[in-house]
Amino acid sequence: MNLQQLRIVRETIRQSFNLTEVANALYTSQPGVSKHIKDLEDELGVEIFERRGKRLLGLTGPGQELSGVVERILLDTQNLRRIADQFANRETGHFVVATTHTQARYALPGVIKWFKQDYPKVHLTLHQGSPKEIAEMLAMGEADVGIATESLDGIDDLVTFPYYSWRHAVIVPQGHPLQKREQITLEDIGEYPIITYHAGFTGRSHIDQVFAQVGIVPDIVLSAIDADVIKTYVGLGLGVGLVASMAFDPEQDRDLALLKVDDLFPLNTTRLAVRRGAWLRSYAYAFIEKISPELSEAVVKEAIRQVRGE
C-alpha cells in the first residue's frame, strides 16, 4: 500500500469514477490508475469499487468504509508536511483563503493588508468563488480558511464560527421616489423592478423568504454575484437594488442613496470555516484571531479536533 494508491482512490471518488478524468487530474495514465486500484484491492482482499466490465460504477460496501479512512490518512499526510514546514520555515509558506466577492471586496481588505505587513514572506492566495465552491475547496484541502454567508454551516467535514452579522439595505438612484417615504414597506419595494444577488449568494434566500411570507412575487429583473454590478445597473435606472448594507460606500456611490430597512429583512451571519482535523500554520491562526479576537488559537484548535456531534 502506498500514498499514490490512496490518492487514486480519493480522486476516483471525486471524479465520479471516471478513470480518464482521474488520470488527467493526477498526471498519469489510465492503465496506471487501473493497475494501482487492482493492486490495492488485491492487497486488502476486498473490492473497493463496483464494476460493469471495465467501468467503475460506484463504491462497494467495504469501499464506502475505506473512503473515510483514505481521506483521514491523506489529510494527516498533509498535516505532517505542514508541521515540518512550520518548524523549518516559521515565517514562510502558502496560505489560501477562499471567499465570496462581497467578503473579499468589503469585509477583508483591512485584514489582508495587516496580514501582508506582518507576514511578508507568506504567499497569500485570495480565491473568490461561490459558497458551494468554497465549501468544496475546504473539504478537499485546497483552502485553509473559508469565509461566506451560505453553504458552510452543517457540513460534517467543516467546523465553522460566526464572523459578523449584517442586514440587506435598499439602494436607489439619487432622487428616486422611495427616498420620500418615511417608512418603506415590502409592498413599496415590490412596486419597482428589483436588482439583487444571484440565488445562493449573500443572503439571497432570506430576501426570497421575506417576500414569500407576505405573498409578494418580486420582479427581479437582474441578479448578480457582485454588489458592484448591482450598483452599476441601479445607477443606470434599471431597478431598485437590494444589497448587503456594507457594500454601500458613501464616497464612491455618490450617485446612489442607501435606504435602511432593518425591520424588513432578517440578520445574515457570515461564517468562517476550516476543515475538521486540519493542521494549520501559526499565521493561519493569527489571521483568524485578527478577524475575530475571541477565536484564539486554543479555541480553534479545540474545535478542529472535535468529532462532529460531540
pLDDT digits (tens, 9 = 90+) for 170-208: 999 999 999 999 899 999 999 999 999 999 888 999 999
146-171 mean pLDDT: 90
Locus of grid cell 475538521:
276
Locus of grid cell 476543515:
275
Who contacts 310 (Cβ-Cβ below 8 Å, separation ≥6)? Answer: none
113-127 mean pLDDT: 93
Give per-residue pLDDT as tens, 281-297. 889 999 999 999 999 99
Give per-residue pLDDT as tens, 136-148. 899 888 899 999 9
Residue with the bigger pLDDT between 266 and 92: it is 266
pTM for this predicted structure: 0.70
Query: Which amino acid appears at position 81 of this protein?
Result: R
Of the chain, the percentage scoring pLDDT greater than 90 comes to 54
Domains of the chain: 3-82 (1.10.10.10), 89-163+270-305 (3.40.190.10), 168-266 (3.40.190.10)
112-140 mean pLDDT: 92
Q: In this structure, what C-alpha cell is assigned to residue 217?
A: 412575487
The reported pLDDT for the residue numbered 174 is: 95
Q: Which of 134, 77, 90, 95 is nearest to 284 (CA)?
A: 95
